Structure formats: structure tokens, C-alpha cells
Chain A
Amino acid sequence: MFKELDPILHSQLRLAVMSLLISVKEAEFTFIREKTNSTAGNLSVQVQKLKDVGYIDVAKQFKDNYPQTTCKITAAGIAAFDAYVQALQQYLSVDGVR
């Protein structure tokens, strides 16, 4: 029986954001934008979706009069990421048998 791939994570940009955040303690929006090569508009929409499902925490504050957004993965996000990778491995092992 195949585990279903989490539709929230099975999207290029959201998965890229989660993969970045799982490797670091926290990262600023600008860092994520640079590393994922995305536009600010698209990234904010995807970050909001990840925040809505509770996979990441988003903190907004001001630094030298400029707004600064910092993202951090949550425990629920780590669990979802783990489950997603396990499901992927299942798909890949079947592909390997074929």
C-alpha cells in the first residue's frame, strides 16, 4: 500500500523551502529567496501556505527600519518532512524493482 505524498510538500518551491529550513536553525526570507531562486511574490505565497499548516514558524520584525522575516521549521514540519521522505523512498524502491 503506497503512502500518499503530502500535497503540501509535493510542490517544488515548498519542498525547497522545507529542505533549506530542515538544515538550518532559522533563515531570513532573503536567504531563502536567493537559495531557491524564486520571486518574492511566489515565495511569500508558499511560505504562508507552509505557515498555515503549521510546518514553519514565521517571525516578522524590524531591523534598522526595514522589515525582516525569519522562518524556522516546527516539530510538525520536521515530522511531515520525515514522512514525505519515507514515502518517496517507497516510490523509489518500487521504481528500482521495475
Chain B
Amino acid sequence: MEKEENFSAQHSLQLIENMINKAQNRMSDNGTLYLLWGWVVLICSSGQYLLMQFFASSKTGYIWLLTIIAGLVQIIYLSKQKKGAVVKTYTDEIINYIWVSFGICMGIATFIMTNLGSWVVLYSFVLLFYGVPTFLSGIAMRFKPLVIGGIICWCLSIISTFIQQKEILLLLSIAVLSAWIIPGYLLRKKFKSAHI
């Protein structure tokens, strides 16, 4: 693209279209954070269920402290990724803020529930909240597995109202498996094939 000669209107329009496609069809998410959080929540939810099954302790919830480690890993990962980024798209930015607002909602919901409600109600809301950023990210990235994962979370949230026992933790495991872990591996596969 060295020439500076006059070119036709048709050619200009083709060039514009071509460049916009090049910028927008960039696959920027490699699925790492979906996999990180998917596996951590799967370990915590299934782990807590198993602990509750075998030990009648009220301290089984401490397994969720693992999420603090995941949070630290995420901070390190994001700061490294930010350094290596060569382009920032509007889609990337919107998706980031969707997840930030999800994190804030989760924090506030946990605070409200621990002060006022029961943990069983909290899990129903957690399932409901999981669906929102997953569904929206799928729409923004035009990536169907996330859209389907988000819808599954909402269905599980409704189902959870009929399961008001510790088995609700298993619904959480199913939710992260279908909304984050499976789409995470599919995203990774798509990212790798786009960057060969």
C-alpha cells in the first residue's frame, strides 16, 4: 500500500470495507478467564457439596476463599495482557465493563444476602447473575456457545427454586461447566485457529 495515485470511488469504498472487516474480525478473547473462573467455581461448588456430604461442619464455605486466589491471578493476567495489547476495540471495552458490573453486583448481592437472607437464596441469584454477562458477552462477540451458556444459567436459576438443599451447589457446577468451561475451551480453539 505504497501508492498515492488517484483511485476510483468504488475502490475507496472497497478499501474502507476491507479495513473495517480486518479491524472487527479480530479474535481478541482466548478464553483464559472463562477457564480460570469456570474451573475455580466448579472446584469450589463441587468441593463444598462433597465436604457437606461427608462432614457436618459449618466451615465448608471456606473453600470459596479459593476465589480470592483466582482474583489475584486475574489481576496479574490482565495487567500482562494490557501491556501486550496492540489495539483496543469498543467491543472489548464494553465486554470488560459488563464483567466489572457483574463483579460489583455479585459483591453487593453477597453482602445483602449474608446480612438479610439465606445462602440458598444467594445461589439462586448467583445463577441468575451468571447468565447476564455470559449472555451479553456472547452477543457482543457473536459467539453462540456463550449465549447458550447464559440461557442455561437462567434456566438453572429457575430450577434452583425447587431445590432448596445442598444439591443447589451442583446446579452451580452445571452452570459454570456450560457457561464458562465449555465455551472457554471453544473460544481458545477459535482463538488459536484465528492466530495461526
Mask: chain B, 49-72; 1 = CB below 8 Å from A; 0 = not: 000000000000000000000000
**B16 contacts chain A at the CB level, 8 A cutoff:** yes
Q: How far is the CA of A64 from the CA of B90 in the complex (A)?
A: 25
Q: Is the beta-carbon distance between B6 and A10 smaller than 8 angstroms? A: yes
With contact pairs A24-B89, A25-B90, A95-B9 given, residues A39 and B16 touching in the complex (Cβ less than 8 Å): no
A28 in contact with B87 given A22-B20, A88-B13, A92-B10 (CB within 8 Å): yes
* Bound: A20/B161 CA distance, A: 49
Instruction: Tell me the residues in window 43-97 of chain A with beta carbons closer than 8 Å to chain B beta carbons.
Output: 63-64, 85, 88, 91-92, 95
Size category, B interface = 20 to 34
One of B3, B13, B22, B88 near A92 (C-beta < 8 A): B13
Q: How far is the CB of B191 from chain A (nearest CB, A)?
A: 17
Cβ A35 vs Cβ B4 within 8 A: no
Contact of B86 among A27, A36, A64 (CB under 8 A): A27
- Size of A's binding interface in residues, CB under 8 A: 31
Q: Is the CB of B19 within 8 A of A36?
A: yes
Question: How distant is the Cα of A12 from the Cα of B87 in the complex, in angstroms?
Answer: 21
| Alpha-carbon gap, A28 to B86, bound state (A) | 5
Which chain A residue shows the least CB distance to B93?
A25
Q: Chain A residues with Cβ under 8 A from B114's Cβ?
A: none
Contacts of A10 in B (CB 8 A): 6-7, 12
Cβ of A95 and Cβ of B19 under 8 Å apart? Answer: no
Cβ–Cβ < 8 Å partners of B89 in chain A: 23-25
**How far apart are the CA atoms of A13 and B100 in the complex, in Å?**
37
Complex alpha-carbon distance, A43 and B179, angstroms: 43
A85:B87 contact, CB within 8 angstroms: no
Q: Which B residues, 72 to 102, have Cβ-Cβ distances below 8 Å to chain A?
A: 83, 85-90, 92-93
How close is A96's CB to chain B, nearest CB, in angstroms?
10
B196 interface hit (Cβ, 8 Å): no
- The residues of A that contact B12 with a CB separation of less than 8 Å are 10, 15, 88
Q: List 23 A-B contacts (CB under 8 A).
A: A10-B7, A12-B4, A12-B7, A15-B19, A16-B15, A19-B16, A19-B18, A20-B19, A20-B22, A24-B89, A26-B87, A27-B86, A27-B87, A27-B88, A28-B86, A28-B87, A31-B87, A36-B1, A38-B1, A42-B2, A85-B13, A88-B12, A92-B9
A-side residues, CB < 8 A to B, are: 5, 10-13, 15-16, 19-20, 22-28, 30-31, 35-39, 42, 63-64, 85, 88, 91-92, 95
The chain B residues found within 8 Å of chain A, CB to CB, are 1-4, 6-7, 9-10, 12-13, 15-16, 18-20, 22-24, 83, 85-90, 92-93
